[in-house]
Amino acid sequence: MTQTAPILLTVDGLTKAYPGVVANSDVSFTIAEGEVHALLGENGAGKSTLVKMIYGLVRPDSGSMTLRGAPYEPSEPRAARADGVAMVFQHFSLFDALNVAENIALGMENPPPQSQLAARIRDVSETYGLPLDPAAIVGNLSAGERQRVEIIRCLLQDPKLLIMDEPTSVLTPQEVEILFETLRKLSAEGTAILYISHKLEEIRNLCDSATVLRLGKVVGTCNPREKTATELAEMMVGQILHVPVRAPRDVGDVVLEVKNLSAESPNAFGTSLKNVSFTVRAGEVLGICGVAGNGQDELLAALSGEVRADAGAVLVNGTPVGALGPNERRHLAILAAPEERLGHAAAPDMSLTENALLTGAIREKLTNHGFLKWPAIRAFAEKVIEEFDVRTPGAGNAARSLSGGNLQKFVVGREVLQRPDVLVVNQPTWGVDASAAAAIRQSLLDLTAEGAAVIVISQDLDELMEISDSFAALNEGRLTEPRPALGLTINEIGLMMGGAHGMEVAHV
């Protein structure tokens, strides 16, 4: 198919520099009509900037683009849409209180009357196997269905090129399969798809060709079906990957026991925890997966002590701790590393030294009758920086001046070095480059070798498969029964995560 199809879009030598960083340097590739083309790269490799240039959100410094043989220089997204380029963003822009048709009308230049629009939505959704009721209120839809709203909004414009930015990060494996069916059908009808992802298996499954970006440059083009996932990863990272090694270890006694934990979310739009129960033994890693927004933040808060529950709902070595606050739990060696680095795990404008004090005050004995021992605090910060290879000019630098991966190493390292008995981490490697991610995972495994119980909450299934001993899924605030990770298939995990959430299977 790709050999014969005419070229749709040619990108030639695009360069875009921001102050202090070159986001894209001399990037060139082509997409044929009907081709599913992957844009592969780590966080910060320049994928987003590149597609923003194609979609008219950012203007390139130099280079040119050609669309169906004609020069293509979109000055704004409206111009890009007029030329048949549409984009589905990673974060949806939908109003919860409005219905599907109203939301779609809001994104259109000249929306037809509601009745006509509803008919067209039904039409398009049936054609492409995306069943969707135009009168449904968006607030009641699952993440997968919301994505359908965004896709249909694009399809109504009859695009020639559909850009999808990390579309599967909010989907269960079953929902991903439904989406891929639709994308394949679109491709068969001649719509080209530019698919951005760092999930290698998906790309091997779906895409006809792939352009790999590293540090803003194209480092290779390939047919992903002919490469192994490891080969793709090494192209992306530019070095041989070290898979974390797990020392053989004996699983000990139960350290953490959670019994019928229910907690209201502190956030009005959050998900409350409902009857969560599980146990973690010494030396064990419990992996908790789930689609974002199903109670991950709330579970971390209930374990860290930011949200209090019944005393007996959380037991550590038999001691009830459910009603204790974060510092009282730190006394008992229960530590946590939240997902959001800036603003939750660390204060953006404070130095790393001051951020070391944020959680280290108690276990590292950094205060004396409430007075701060600055030399000890600085020494602790420097120890974290050194042992976790945090790249920064010094401990006096503000947290927000660090890159995401370096700050993440600092945040995880700060907790790991405090010798926890129980460590809870939410998204330990989100937005972290592959080698740093491997180092973080290794440090978590080393911790279990010393007898700690570790809970890893993550949306990255590959990560969880790599380090977990047992596996559970969060779905609408409920946790499934943990199962041994060994021998668990992706399909079984998907069902634990809620399967397709009752979403109608595409009629393709």
Binding site for other proteins (CB under 8 A): 19, 58-59, 61, 304-306, 325-327, 330, 336, 338, 340, 343-350, 354, 357-359, 361, 367, 370-372, 374, 397-398, 400-401
Three-state DSSP state, 404: helix
Compute the least distance from the CB of residue 60 to other proteins, in Å.
8
Spatial neighbors of 226 by CB under 8 A, at least 6 apart, are none
What's the rounded Cα separation, in Å, for the pair 258 and 325? 16
Q: How far is the CB of 427 from other proteins (least distance, A)?
A: 15
DSSP 422: E
The angle formed by the CA atoms of residues 251, 359 and 271, to the nearest 5 degrees, is 75
**Closest CB to other proteins among residues 36, 54:** 54
The least CB distance from residue 311 to other proteins, in Å, is 18
Shortest distance (Å) from residue 290 CB to other proteins: 21
Report the nearest approach of other proteins to the CB of residue 485 (Å): 29
Is 91 exposed, middle or buried (CB count within 10 Å of its CB: 0-12, 13-18, 19+)? exposed
State the minimum distance, in angstroms, from the CB of residue 358 to other proteins.
5
Of 296, 306, 304, whose CA–CA distance to 475 is shortest? 296
Whichever of 306 and 492 has its CB closer to other proteins, that residue is 306
Cβ count near 152 (within 10 Å): 21
Residue 259 or residue 344: which is nearer to other proteins going by CB? 344
- 51: nearest Cα among 224, 215, 194: 194
| 101 contact partners, CB below 8 Å, separation of at least 6 | 114, 117, 118, 121, 134, 135
CA distance 92 to 14: 27
28 vs 403, beta carbon nearer other proteins? 403
Nearer to other proteins, 297 or 433 (CB): 297
**Least distance between other proteins and beta carbon 116 (Å):** 38
CB of 143 or CB of 300, closer to other proteins? 300
Q: Give the residue with the Cβ less far from other proteins, 141 or 416.
A: 416
